[in-house]
Amino acid sequence: MDSALLGLAAVLAAVVAAPPLAALSKRLIPIPLPVVEIALGMLIGPAILGLVEPGGLPASVGRMGLAAIIFIAGYELEYRAISRTQLGWATAGWVLSLVLAVLAGIGVIIAADAGGLQVSGDGTTSLVTTGVFAGIALTSTALSTAMPSMRDAGELTTPFGRAIIAAGTVGQLAPLLALSVVFGGRDIWWSALALVLFCAMVLASVRIAARGLPVWARRVVSATMHTSGNFAVRIVVFAVAILTAVSVDVFDLDMLVGAFAAGVLVRQLVSNVDPGERQLVEHKFQGLAFGFLTPLFFVTTGVAFDLRGLFSQPLALALVPVFLVVMFVARGLPGSFVIPWRSGARDRVAAMLWTSVGLAVIVAVVNIAVDAGALSSVLGSAMVGAGMVSMLTFPTAALAVRRR
């Protein structure tokens, strides 16, 4: 069998095997599905079985899976449930997180370089630049992957849950915006101006989209809902494709910024569609995203994970808990500002745990940094490893603290 076909078959086999393995793990230690998918990617990748090489078609399609995660985060965001006060505190908390995480990232990178660890991929990137990349990644909040646990615990509708959603929304989008501005292809001031213009364009589009689909379009949605036409699903895919292309090619921003904007826009666009039909469209797109695209992203992330390099260098492996502590303190503490100041210590700790969960955005930033040569694959794997540990432990600990 052709090696490319064998690799594709192995990736698809990992995608299929992940859900039952995650379900079986609940009998012993509950393991989040994305972590299982990354682990299976490591198994079939160069680190263990060597069936799949990094890159290629699965990785390209997997990148669309990350865009789908960010799209759904923008689509599911209930703006009316978030007060301006919560949004203000969430933003202020993230800015403080950025300062703390960048300082901590630079410090860790300098210490790792002094210990003999290769921290940049090309060997020429400054330690400060590498530290800034690391700091931006560690300010993220994996809201889209943490929300299922919050939903199962009934937290999404509580004042505490709405506050966490506000902090998580900022923590999921702001690192991508910061990355686009600081490491865009243009001067930083031009990148900031491009970001402002893009946001203005999106806000104007949202105002127009708030009127909903025109009558003829709603009729086509209803007529094709149960056929192979699926006009509404095609609208969703088209919106994601257009806004990601515009964000990258016109404004020189990261494609995930466009994916988030597409989620916000589509939510307004289908506001006047029949609720039952809208729910069916959501289920169909989520089936495509979570059933195929997103698993490909996490499996191919595991394939590219430098497991051998991480375990062959004790200093790199020791950085996993260091990055985890940075996430909890530098992101979790400012992230907890969003809940009321009169909240008890348990709620404060739970908020720190929820807001410091990170994985998808960490992977996105690490991929960009490794491709740019600003981060070595070993150091990037240590950061992704910290994100995996946060996914394994922080949500469970947060729920336990809140229950007590």
Task: Write the CB contacts of 47 (distance below 8 Å, at least 6 apart in sequence).
Answer: 305, 306, 307, 308
**Is the Cβ–Cβ distance between 245 and 218 less than 8 Å?**
no
Residues 22 and 36: beta-carbon distance below 8 Å = yes
Domain ranges, residue 224: 3-403
User: pTM of the predicted model, to two decimals?
Assistant: 0.83
pLDDT tens per residue, range 204-259: 887 887 777 788 877 887 888 777 777 778 888 888 888 888 888 877 777 888 88
For residue 1, pLDDT beyond 60 = no
Pick the more confident residue, 184 or 348.
348
CA angle (335, 339, 345) in 5-degree steps: 90
Mean pLDDT value across residues 183-205: 78
Q: How large a percentage of the chain has pLDDT more than 70?
A: 94
Confidence band for 81, pLDDT divided at 50, 70 and 90: low
Let me know how long the chain is. 404
Neighbours of 321 (CB within 10 A): 13
Position 386 confidence tier, pLDDT thresholds 50, 70, 90? very high
Least confident of 70-84, 104-118, 296-310: 70-84
Question: Which amino acid would we find at residue 199?
Answer: C
Map the chain to HEC letters. CCHHHHHHHHHHHHHHHHHHHHHHHCCCCCCCHHHHHHHHHHHHCCCCCCCCCCCHHHHHHHHHHHHHHHHHHHHHCCHHHCCHHHHHHHHHHHHHHHHHHHHHHHHHHHHHHHCCCCCCCCCCCCHHHHHHHHHHHCCCCCHHHHHHHHHHCCCCCCHHHHHHHHHHHHHHHHHHHHHHHHCCCCCHHHHHHHHHHHHHHHHHHHHHHCCCCCHHHHHHHHHHCCCCCCHHHHHHHHHHHHHHHHHHHHCCCCHHHHHHHHHHHHHHHCCCCCHHHHHHHHHHHHHHHHHHHHHHHHHHHHHHCCHHHHHHCHHHHHHHHHHHHHHHHHHHHHHHHHCCCCCCHHHHHHHHHHHCCCCHHHHHHHHHHHHCCCCCHHHHHHHHHHHHHHHHHHHHHHHHHHHC
The model's pLDDT over 287-337, given as tens digits with 9 standing for 90+, comes to 888 888 888 888 988 888 888 888 888 888 899 999 999 999 999 999 888
Most confident of 29-33, 246-250, 348-352, 397-401: 348-352
pLDDT category, 180, cuts 50, 70, 90? confident
The arithmetic mean of pLDDT across residues 164-168, rounded, is 85
Model confidence at 383: pLDDT above 60: yes
Residue 148 is predicted with a pLDDT of: 67
The per-residue pLDDT of the chain, averaged, comes to 83
Mean of pLDDT values over 336-351: 86
> What are the angstrom distances between the C-alpha of 268 and each of 26, 87, 235, 279?
37, 20, 13, 14
pLDDT recorded at residue 321: 93
Q: How far is CA 386 from CA 174, 202, 278, 316, 326, in A?
A: 20, 34, 37, 11, 10
**According to the model, what pLDDT value does residue 3 have?**
67
pLDDT at 323: 93
Q: What is the pLDDT of residue 310?
A: 84
Please give the backbone phi and psi of residue 197, each rounded to the nearest 5 degrees, phi first.
-65, -40
**Rounded to an integer, what distance in angstroms lies between the CA atom of residue 296 and that of residue 58?**
7
Quote the CA–CA distance of 65 and 364 in Å, as a whole number: 11
Could you tell me if 319 and 379 are in contact, meaning their C-beta atoms sit under 8 angstroms apart?
yes
Instruction: Specify the pLDDT at position 97.
Output: 93
Q: Which one has a higher pLDDT value, 81 or 389? A: 389
Q: Which of 38-52, 139-153, 289-303, 374-388 has the lowest mean pLDDT?
A: 139-153
Structural domain count, the chain: 1
Spell out the residues 6+ positions from residue 31 whose beta carbon is closer than 8 angstroms to its own.
22, 25, 392
What's the CA gap between 87 and 76, in Å, rounded? Answer: 16
* Per-range mean pLDDT, top range of 25-34, 281-290, 330-339: 330-339
Distance between CA atoms of residues 99 and 102, nearest Å: 5
pLDDT for residue 360: 80
pLDDT, one tens digit per residue, over 255-272 is 888 888 888 888 888 777
Q: Can you give the pLDDT at residue 46?
A: 87
14 alpha carbon, distance to own chain's centre:
21
CATH number of the CATH domain containing 25: 1.20.1530.20
pLDDT at residue 240, as a whole number = 84
